[in-house]
Amino acid sequence: MNIVLSGFGAVGQAATHVLMNKAKEWERTYGIHIKITAVLDRSGAVVHSSGLDLKQLLQMKAETGGVDNGALPPRNVDQLWVDSRADIFIDAAETNTLTGGSGLPLIQSALKHGLDVVCVSKGALAYAWDDLHELAEACGRTIKYSGAAAAALPTVDTALYSLAGAEVHTIEGLLNGTSNLIVTRVAAENITLQKAWETAKKEGKAEADPSEDIGGKDTALKMYFLAKTCLTPEINWKSITIRGLDQLSAVEWKQAEQGKTKWKLVGKARKTEQGTTVSVEPKLLTAEHPFFHVDGAEKAVLFSTDTMGTVLVSGGASSPTGAAAAAWKDVIHLARERA
């Protein structure tokens, strides 16, 4: 199983480390031999059809900041799939919802050349969900996106497999581990949201743009993917109403009572006869709500269904390794489905 990986930042490098540690185990367990045969980043691309030397690749990145360092000329994308003998394309490049980012044309090209696609980046899916899924169907290929829809927390797999046959009416999501870590620290350390965010940023746990985490954009994107998966194909992610933690007033913050109520940034998607609505906003939760007990960088999703009642999944703390592991899970599922 040959992999082309786009994006060699924190998640791309974590994916490389995970594969180095787990490849032999996966081959024994699943009978799948996985190799990374091409990596792309802003510096260029490096390709070897029999598999890249992953240790050397990580060393190159550490020493030069890129994977290519001018070793290869600009590469025709169509030729890339041929030279790498690729089976699956993983998009882990930077998210850009305004244009779809660098991942959008690569995903389109990969599908047309017969590759399945695994998305960790959210940009292309947010920008062109319908077009990409229509293209995948036309090409007889599959797009998986566990890494884009809460990473190590198995939201999509729970919806598609564990809840198969049930109708999902409502989805609630505590889907951004960074914002959950921040509100946990605000309550535990009696500090401001700004201070907690700055600390998380210094630790490398928060995005440089606060609108992604505490502003609610990341949660909105994940809720959009889940709503498209479980509730309705018609919804547009730009129709989601968002109120971030940064919009809470000082008076509202003081409403939380130690041990009794907690602020959480909650996404909600609800299907009614009038249509589907998706929103993200801070909720002051009591101990009766299952999200009350989910603290730190952990996440959670709550499905309400017609025949299976309410189903809660929690955990999957946010980290590059968790996102990388979710991508490899999708690769393993694709390999097993194609076998």
So which residues are the catalytic ones?
Answer: 222
Cβ proximity of 132 and 152 under 8 Å? no
What DSSP line would sit under 262-310, residue for residue? EEEEEEEEEEETTEEEEEEEEEEEETTSGGGG--TT-EEEEEEESSS-E
Helix ranges (H only) for the chain are 10-30, 54-64, 77-84, 103-112, 123-139, 155-157, 177-189, 193-202, 217-230, 250-253, 320-338
Q: 122 among the known binding-site residues? A: yes
C-alpha to C-alpha distance for 146 and 150, rounded to whole angstroms: 7
N- to C-terminal Cα distance for the chain?
11
Q: 10 among the known binding-site residues? A: yes
Q: Are strands 261-272 and 168-174 parallel, antiparallel or unpaired?
A: antiparallel
Q: 7 among the known binding-site residues? A: yes
The three-class DSSP label of residue 244 is coil
Nearest-Å Rg of the Cα atoms of the chain is: 20
Cβ neighbours of 69 (radius 10 Å): 14
C-alpha to C-alpha distance for 65 and 8, rounded to whole angstroms: 10
Q: 260 among the known binding-site residues? A: no
What is the chain's length? 339
39 bridge partner residues: 5, 46
Q: 128 among the known binding-site residues? A: no
Q: 46 among the known binding-site residues? A: no
Annotated binding residues, written as ranges, equal 7-12, 122, 207
Annotated binding residues for NADP(+), written as ranges, equal 7-12
Annotated binding residues for NADPH, written as ranges, equal 122
Annotated binding residues for L-homoserine, written as ranges, equal 207
